[in-house]
A and B are shown apart, each in its own frame.
Chain A
Amino acid sequence: MSTLLKPKTAAELRDVYLRQEMMPTIFCDGCGLGNVLNYTLWALDELQVDLDQVVFVSGIGCSSRLSGYVNADGMHTTHGRALSFASGIKAANPNLKVIVFTGDGDGAGIGGNHLLHTIRRNMDMTVILVNNYIYGMTGGQSAPTTPIGGLSTTTPYGNVEYPMDICALALALEAPYVARWTVNQPYPPIKSIAQGIAKRGFALIEMLVPCPTAYGGRNGLKGVEAIWQWYRENTVLLDDFEHIMEFGTLEEQEEIKHKLKVGVLRDTERESFEERWAKLVEQVKL
């Protein structure tokens, strides 16, 4: 795996992996969704996946447009339900690789129950959940991830609700692969998405990305750089966190205690639904 980043130019990646007829994307300047797409393409390239055998599934929202940009089979479904469609695809044809693009509103808000149960079943799929703390496509309404006090068009005086930790949910439901990354660091997410795609079973990769249009500006984070800076100040690498908690000073520990941990939060093995179902059929088939 020493060849993680092959020297493929952006133009080469585009020609191989993108559906030209869908360009340009709908994304605003500074939106992090393009980065997520870019990282995913690098990961696919790293794994040399046969694109004919991959289905990209998504729900509704800015992030859910990603499925259409990759030149592979794709299904742009209904709001929040991407995982239901994806489960049907994977259960009916386990030979296909399924990659889901979803957002915080789509995947954890309206689709929260499907997220919960798709993880519980351990469907073999990679879910790239793009979290920008807001409903972007509809113009900036509060999401289940909007921080307390966060301003949105529907929390004009500040959000009073507690935000949800999506990775904590996945960990609690024993997803075999869970990772969280911020978009300002390209290399770890590329590696992580590749790990997720290669994983048997449910892999969740939560990507924190800026939505300068609907979230950043309104919340005192004007421009992408301000949001990236916010990520630097408010997140801590899991390895660093553990190291400081063990060896750091009290002040250091105090400083990182409430920061959001990023990194591979779990990487383990667990039999998938498809594997278990195939075994059952093997046992009972006439």
Chain B
Amino acid sequence: MDRALIRRALGDKVQFIQGDDACAYGALLAGCNFFAGYPITPATEVAEQMSILLPLVGGCYIQMEDEIASMGALVGASWTGAKTMTSTSGPGFSLMQENLGYAIMTETPCVVVNVQRSGPSTGQPTMGAYGDMMQARWGTHGDHEIIMLCPASIQESLDLTIVAFNLSEQFRTPVLLFIDGELGHMRERLVIPDEDELELVERPMFNGQGKYLPFATDASLVPTFAPFGSGHRTYVTGLTHNEQGLPRSSSAEIHDKLVRRLADKINNHRDQIIRYEEFYADDCDIAIITYGITARTCRDVVEQARSKGIKVGMLRLITIWPFPDDTVARWSECVQAILVPEMNLGQMIHPIREAVAGRCKVAPLFRIGGEIHTPVEILTALEELQCQLC
């Protein structure tokens, strides 16, 4: 797609916009030329923005009949070579699970934005929450790995959407970008990156040498791509398949090899995928480990607590999956306690506890109902923790 055209479609360099729109902007900058979606609060604005932008740059927007169809359309479009995205919220994300698994199995690049709201079921459609963190990891059936990113600001919603596309292309796998109703609808200053600031990654393409084996890989464990219509006559199936793509669903050996490779291609490249932000990592007794919008409140509280003499540090997870357990383990060796504020009833605290492995105390601070944690609430929790440690 014409990069100058994309830049023109987005308008002013500095804008005051909401997180949903920032995701759409990021997608366009990343080269997204196909969006399929279904309206759902609080993610609808992503689709609306894409429906405005894509025709301006010659892309395709299609509103599907449901989220199952949206996810299917993404995969189909991606196999023609398109860069594809959809957006949804909890109930829709639930509906996407089967086809998300198909995208994993068939190594199809695509980006799924989930603007989370409270569940279970219809829950609180207009309120933010982080209740889908574990569904993201384990929602689709079978053994698999997933890549998921969690921005904490409007700017980061744009920046990480671009990263999501890059990771998705590089590893040929669906990438999830999770924000929440608060970030989705909150407005902040956004600076649109210039052309020379953008680093875009494209999926590895078949170089035309020899016979094309659509699922054969080199040491990267990522197969090369040839789009439908390129004459290679590729067969894509969700069944266990060999390097040629043909079904071999009764072979234990082929299944084992395939499913382990799909996991390894992500796990072997954790260094390239995992992102986080650390504050006072070398100088704290208590750590806060958090992510998403909650991290914003926590960041302020860290300073307040330190001014009161509580030596607090903070680890903000940006990549949620694959989980940065080495990093969490390293923190657990240096602190006496870890506070885990989450906008759910305890989801990321489980992999955190697993990584900590009993080396220090892990204290929950869960809040649901749609409101974000208050600074006082977090500060009080830190003070209590401090008392318990003395």
A residues in contact (CB < 8 Å) with B: 19, 21-22, 51-53, 55, 57, 67-68, 71-78, 81, 83-93, 95-96, 113-114, 116-117, 273, 277, 280-281, 284-286
Contact = CB atoms under 8 A, between A and B. Distances in A.
Given A51-B233, A72-B233, A75-B236, A85 B246 contact: no
A99 B370 CA distance: 46
A257 B5 CA distance: 60
Given A22-B246, A76-B237, A52 B229 contact: yes
Nearest to A65: B247
Interface stretch (B61-69, B154-162, B184-192, B201-209): B61-69
Interface stretch (B19-27, B75-83, B337-345, B358-366): B75-83
B235 A19 contact: yes
B267 to A, nearest CB: 26
Nearest to B226: A73
Contacts of A114: 65, 68-69, 72
B229 A85 contact: no
B58 interface: yes
Q: Which has the most chain B C-beta neighbours within 10 Å: A84, A88, A91, A93?
A: A88
B120 interface: no
A96 B77 CA distance: 11
Contact of A286 (B56, B66, B77, B246): B56
A212 to B, nearest CB: 24
B246 A21 contact: yes
B294 interface: no
5 contacts: A67-B235, A68-B237, A73-B229, A76-B236, A78-B99
Nearest to A116: B65
Interface of B: 5, 8-9, 33-34, 36, 55-58, 60, 62, 64-66, 68-82, 84, 98-99, 102, 227-239, 244, 246-247
Nearest to A82: B72
Contacts of B70: 84
A78 B102 contact: yes
A116 B74 CA distance: 19
B238 A76 contact: yes
Given A73-B234, A88-B75, A92-B84, 10 more contacts: A19-B246, A52-B233, A75-B236, A77-B238, A84-B76, A85-B73, A88-B76, A89-B80, A92-B78, A93-B80
Given A21-B244, A286-B5, A88 B72 contact: yes
Contacts of A21: 244, 246
Contacts of B239: 76
A76 B235 contact: yes
Contacts of B99: 78, 81, 84
A21 B237 CA distance: 15
A284 B56 contact: yes
Nearest to A51: B233
A96 B228 contact: yes
A53 B231 CA distance: 7
Contacts of A91: 34, 36, 60, 62, 73, 77
A68 B233 CA distance: 10
A162 to B, nearest CB: 23
